[in-house]
Chains A and B, each alone.
Chain A
Amino acid sequence: MTEYHIKEIAQKIETLKLEATELKKMSGGIQAIDRNIDRILASIKMLEINISDLASIL
């Protein structure tokens, strides 16, 4: 049976989100950064739905 390290994965997802958010803050309004970060954040949200949202109930 495969063992999943949900809390550790959720932690990494949180780190990704923080990094992406930080990067957007540093963009100086460059649209090529901001808009791509928005897409990255949408994908990170999918990771949260799939993993992070479970961390508190498991």
Chain B
Amino acid sequence: MKGVEQYWNPILETLPREKLQQLQLKKFQNIFKWAYEHSRFYHKLYSEAGIEPGDIRTFDDILKVPKIEKAMMRDIQGKDPFPYGDILCVPLTAVTEYRQTSGTTGQPIYQADTWQDWEGGAEAYCYALYAQGYRDSDRLFVPFGYNIFIAFWTYHYAGEKLGCEVIPGGVLNTEARILKMQELRATAMGATPTYVLGMAETAIKMGIEPPKDLFIRKITVAGEPGGSVPATRKRMEDAWGAKVYDQAGSTEIGHWGWECRYQCGLHVNEAFYLAEIEDVDTGELITEPGRRGKMVITTFDRLAQPCIRFDSKDVIEWSAIEKCECGRTFRLIRGGVMGRADDITKVKGVLLAPAAIEEVVRAVPQLGDEYEVVVTKKGDIDDITLKVELLPKCKAEISAIRETLTRELRTKTNLRYNLEFHDYGTLPRYEVKAKRFKDLRKGD
């Protein structure tokens, strides 16, 4: 697909970089002013920092704006206006949507949205789905329990906006979802990488081979790094006979990044968001490719509970690719979200990103999709164990697999692991986000 028909908005998506930056600065000024004037929380934060709307004239000025983080939101919520606290910029009567974070890193954060904000979230997601080839001829299946978390709600609403037919598979169990997908010949779905692999495993047990017996040809994944981990992506694509696209977002931010059909990284939707990358230790702004840092992000048009310079702690890096083959000028992130700054931990004095272990495990074809990493302390010394599942009929190859794992883990993570081989199907399975990294040194 070439030409303007590949874009949801051909004007915005191909805007020259200098115009895009002009637009971003203008939008940052607008949301800053809005929050300063309508939220007591932001007004106090900015007043204490001695900064007001007229002070934001350049991108350098943006760097002077105080960042916010989850802990600050936790402090204010539960107070008036209940339950959001004084971050709220609109009357409570204007709030039509409530969602909350999953609470992976602590007490959940409440998120208020007006209908317009909710429309904005779906609109941003439309850019992603359209870029991934979703069209009004698609029948989307959402194999997800619609609930208090934001995950895949926006996929649903964006699908409707695109004119797709959307099938809500919420309360069904995995087997029933697979049968319904087959019955209705669904062509696309959105899920976490963990669940995409789990569904394929269940389908096989039911005697259904997804590439042959189902009709899913596009899968959008979110919520975990797997969509941008090459070995995990390959497993998903092979299991389903479908293209798998990564997508990044969160409750507080919205859907800020996605892969297009050329899959050379995540495009940051810079018409809706300003993404900055900063050094985890020094806070220095990173603008060059190839250097990892944590993302600080601003959502431009979400008004009820603005997200301005939010320290997301997502670890990302800019891509060296200046212009994607798709023609979009939105900047690219290489390798998706690699994890959270909180998850990157030192083991035996070495920095470890759990996604690197996933890349090694999923590249070994004799191993199942599930694995678990457990870090403990024996005296003063860290100890790390990797539990994997051996596929049936591969037991004879255990020595060779052990050798491969040891070598690859050493190369990719600079660590030696205790390896535990388990029978296929015995490690825990997850429906949404998996918890495969357990750091017991912290009493986890």
Task: Count A interface residues, CB 8 Å.
Answer: 18
Whole-angstrom CA separation of A4 from B22 in the bound complex: 20
User: How many contacts between A and B, using CB within 8 angstroms?
Assistant: 44
Counting chain A CB atoms within 10 Å of each CB, the highest count among B23, B27, B116, B272 belongs to B116
Which applies to chain B's interface (DSSP): helix, strand, loop or mixed?
helix
Query: Which partner residue on chain A sits nearest B303 by CB separation?
Result: A45
Task: Count B interface residues, CB 8 Å.
Answer: 21
Assuming the contacts A46-B120, A46-B123, A49-B301, asked whether A54 and B10 have C-beta atoms less than 8 A apart, the reply is no
Report the minimal beta-carbon distance from A8 to chain B, rounded to whole angstroms.
13
Evaluate contact between A49 and B116: CB separation under 8 angstroms.
no
Whole-angstrom CA separation of A42 from B255 in the bound complex: 18
Query: Which partner residue on chain B sits nearest A38 by CB separation?
Result: B115
Residue A41 is within 8 A (CB to CB) of chain B in the complex:
yes
Residue A53 is within 8 A (CB to CB) of chain B in the complex:
yes
* A58 contacts across to B, CB distance below 8 A: 19
Evaluate contact between B22 and A50: CB separation under 8 angstroms.
no
Residue B12 is within 8 A (CB to CB) of chain A in the complex:
yes
Residue B49 is within 8 A (CB to CB) of chain A in the complex:
no
Assuming the contacts A2-B4, A49-B271, asked whether A54 and B11 have C-beta atoms less than 8 A apart, the reply is yes
Query: Which partner residue on chain A sits nearest B118 by CB separation?
Result: A42
Interface residues of A in 30-58 (CB under 8 A from B): 38-39, 41-43, 45-46, 49-51, 53-54, 56-58
Evaluate contact between A50 and B9: CB separation under 8 angstroms.
yes
* A42 contacts across to B, CB distance below 8 A: 114-116, 118-119
* A13 contacts across to B, CB distance below 8 A: none
Whole-angstrom CA separation of A51 from B123 in the bound complex: 13
Interface residues of B in 1-55 (CB under 8 A from A): 4, 9-12, 15, 19, 22-23, 26-27
Whole-angstrom CA separation of A56 from B19 in the bound complex: 10
Query: Which partner residue on chain B sits nearest A45 by CB separation?
Result: B116
Assuming the contacts A2-B4, A2-B10, A49-B271, asked whether A54 and B23 have C-beta atoms less than 8 A apart, the reply is yes
Report the minimal beta-carbon distance from B123 to chain A, rounded to whole angstroms.
5
Sort A-B residue pairs by CB-CB distance and give the 6 closest, nearest first: A42-B116, A42-B119, A57-B22, A46-B123, A42-B115, A50-B9
Measured CB to CB, the residues of A under 8 A from B are: 2, 4, 6, 38-39, 41-43, 45-46, 49-51, 53-54, 56-58
Interface pairs (13), CB distance under 8 Å: A2-B10, A4-B10, A42-B115, A42-B118, A49-B123, A49-B301, A50-B11, A51-B11, A53-B27, A54-B12, A57-B19, A57-B23, A58-B19
